[in-house]
Structure 1
Amino acid sequence: MSEEVSQPADDATDSAERAFRAGFVSFVGRPNVGKSTLTNALVGEKIVITSEKPQTTRRVIRGIVHRPDGQLIIVDTPGIHRPRTLLGERLNALVETTLGDVDVIGFCVPANEKIGPGDRFIDERLNDFPRAKKVAILTKIDSASQTEIIDQLTKLGAMREWDAVVPISSTEDQQLDILSEVLLDLMPESPALYENETITDESEDERIAELIREAALAGAREELPHSLAASVDDREEREDGLIEIYASVYVERDSQKGIVIGKGGQRLKSIGETARKGIEELLGQRVYLSIRVKVLKEWQRDPKALGKLGF
């Protein structure tokens, strides 16, 4: 299957002759269009948790893509949404600030779903960030027919004059190299902004807490996903190489605590097992993980509680 891709005009320039470029890109789009999966695929390592639940990302996370001719710093942000809590207002303010500073905004739309009101709402919001160049990214092309892809590319092209349009599949690694080249060509000439070995500015404890939250989000129902937060409270490396990690999962009400723990503690045990596997993969060591579930009443609306949780 071949798909059309528009690229900056100087794409034919040999990479060996190009000046080194570095800059910041942020991906936007409605929930479940593949933003976090794309970030992880481009970086080459899982630095952002993924979930089917909306508004999974809660803070700015930077992932660094290293190429011979430049660096792409992917700034993963909370989604643009209509806030219902103080947390939502703070996340929106974070998005506004971030998108106002990046060099490129990638607008992600899935190839296998119709463009709807949510997509158009975000497209309109892009006008609020005139500094950034705009790239349309058609995601999940592995799940769409060629007819659907062409139709979606046509509709994307009608929305605005994009600096580039690139169809990709993150899970099948289709056209990710092309996307990296397109994004890099839109970046300013600049020396490297991060050391070669750096792939994210997240600390290990922050990444561990996110893996725990990701495990807790799986299968969570109703309003529970928005009420979940996680933190690493303590960690200790034993002489036998085992790392002991003590963490907390926060909810807003006593009833939610019971849901997270589950009957006979089975759900919490499952959360711990899933999270531990991810943490061991991250650290490359065996892990003992202890998770306590705590109630922090209405923390999404409480400024003091938000501060305690790093918001």
Structure 2
Amino acid sequence: MHKLREVQTAALGGLLFFALTRPCPAIAEEAGTSGKLLLTGGVSQVEGAAGGGLTPWAVIGGYGTRDQVGANAFYTRVNLPDYHLDDAGVMVGLYDRVELSYAQQRFNTEDVGTALGLGHGFTFRQDVVGVKVRLFGDAVLEQDSWLPQVSVGAQYKKNNQDAIVKFVGARRSQGTDYYIDATKLFLAQSLLVNATVRFTKANQIGILGFGGDKHNGYQAELEGSVAYLLSRQWAIGAEYRMKPDNLGIAREDDWYDAFVAWAPSKHVSLTVAYADLGNIVIKDHQRGLYASVQVGF
């Protein structure tokens, strides 16, 4: 266990070292903030990274360019038939190279908590600390190339219900996801495409712990997003996220959503989606409204 922790710490440190020591080409802008086009920094993903609602993108959050700093704060609510999720966090983008993020998720079991003997409205809380590093490419500026922007990232997650997640079969209440993103914006077609490969042990993104009686090793899961820019301020799209199925007691389904995002300015954006999260513990057909507000620069 201590060895795994050391490996995870070294990996996070290595990402930061790479980001801060690799030289960045200068662009013709003075140091400041808010140099990117509207919506090109994405919105806030449920684990705090810049991207879509369900999956991160390779873009660095905020509107700062390579000589600038950007930052966002967000609040997200997901209402399902038998549960709800409240999610809030902050993100800082450094010189279009490094992204640092923090999110706290509160998953309320409502009446299911009573059925499980936990009490009505029993809540799982999870803290997520993330880092993302742009390796190469520029999703917006390099329109004369098919090369996407590529980033790597890690998200360390800690659940506050250690005894309960272990009771249902999870091996640990904390863990780290690693991912690689490729994002390309085709401005002439007003189309953004993203693909992510995530290496994870998380059960329901960590709400039910990490690893289980069926699987306990890292598994590679695919995630994808497509967004169409209706205008400078409006985008529509869809996302898909594969998830591991580690627990014998609780089948886990892949996630889907269809979303609309509106950014009236660089300081605020609103996202509304219809999300299908499938089975969660003892309840099937968990489909409902996802709504998120983001403020920043």
TM-score, length of structure 1 as denominator length: 0.28
Bigger fraction of residues in strand: 2
TM-score, length of structure 2 as denominator length: 0.29
Query: Higher relative CO (CA 8 A, sep ≥ 6), structure 1 or 2?
Result: 1
Q: Which has the larger radius of gyration?
A: 1
Bigger fraction of residues in helix: 1
